[in-house]
Amino acid sequence: MSAVPVVVLVGPMGVGKSTVGRLLAGRLGAAFRDTDDDIVAAQGRTIAEIFVDDGEDAFRALEKRAVAEAVAGHAGVLALGGGAVLDADTRALLTAQRVVYLSMDVEEAVRRTGLNAARPLLAVNPRQQWRALMEARRHLYEEVATAVVPTDGRGPEDVARAVLDALELKEA
Ligand SMILES: Nc1ncnc2c1ncn2[C@@H]1O[C@H](COP(=O)(O)OP(=O)(O)O)[C@@H](O)[C@H]1O
Ligand SMILES: O=C(O)C1=C[C@@H](OP(=O)(O)O)[C@@H](O)[C@H](O)C1
Ligand SMILES: [Mg+2]
């Protein structure tokens, strides 16, 4: 049986897609799914291990499949990895979905991801890397978004509430 997500969360690394997604699902009485978790479970390896062992392109191919499966089969809240929108087919899939772009500025990004080795793309010089990633991706997040929710200076509970408000969704 097919189902579509109640909401799909996109946005840069560390903006809170996974954290807020879990909270949102709790508030909606819906299931939560995260495509990074799906990839890790299927591969039996961490994201960082996949990047190191096989390279980014291999990770993106796994991610593309994981997103397509989740968008087609998950009825709850879905968090994507920050780079999922790089793929044009994925963006096309998202046009039919309710998508929220969680945004933040660079200082907030560095505070949240800092020296977190779990995100290989920000392991070295995180401020500069984050700026470069956003130059390449900001327009892609904006392209797929039904709504944009800024997260600067807001805790995860506040952000979850703002997402519900932006989509005019009611708590369970
Ligand atoms: N609104 C927020 N305010 C402060 N810290 C946050 C917020 N949302 C998430 N975090 C923290 O930032 C880090 C990254 O969150 P995560 O949910 O993994 O982001 P993403 O899935 O977008 O990469 C975690 O340490 C998390 O606890
Ligand atoms: O932005 C990216 O390219 C990535 C974001 C990560 O997910 P989060 O956005 O959940 O951190 C993860 O998929 C991988 O490290 C690559
Ligand atoms: Mg995440």
Tell me the pLDDT of the chain (172 aa) as tens digits: 467 889 999 999 889 999 999 999 999 999 999 999 999 999 999 999 999 999 999 999 999 999 999 999 999 999 999 999 999 999 999 999 999 999 999 888 888 876 555 666 667 787 888 889 899 999 999 999 999 999 999 999 999 999 999 999 888 7
Full domain range(s) for residue 89: 7-104+138-167
Ligand 2: which residue has its CA nearest to atom 13? 81
- What is the C-alpha separation between 42 and 48, in angstroms, rounded? 15
Any domain includes 121: no
Q: Is 15 in the pocket of ligand 1 (CB under 6 A)?
A: yes
In sequence order, what are the residues at sequence separation of 6 or more whose Cβ sits closer than 8 angstroms to the Cβ of residue 60?
83, 86, 87
Query: Which tokens is 22 given?
Result: 């879990």
Any domain includes 17: yes
- The CATH code of the domain that includes 85 is 3.40.50.300
DSSP label at residue 10: E
DSSP label at residue 3: -
Ligand 3 (single-atom ion) residues, CB below 5 Å: 17-18
Q: ipTM, 2 decimals?
A: 0.98
Any domain includes 118: no
Any domain includes 18: yes
- Number of separate domains in the chain: 1
Report pTM.
0.95
- What is the C-alpha separation between 122 and 84, in angstroms, rounded? 16
Q: How far is the CA of 26 from the centre of ligand 1 (A)?
A: 17
Pocket test for ligand 1, best of 112, 133, 134 (most atoms within 8 A of CB): 112
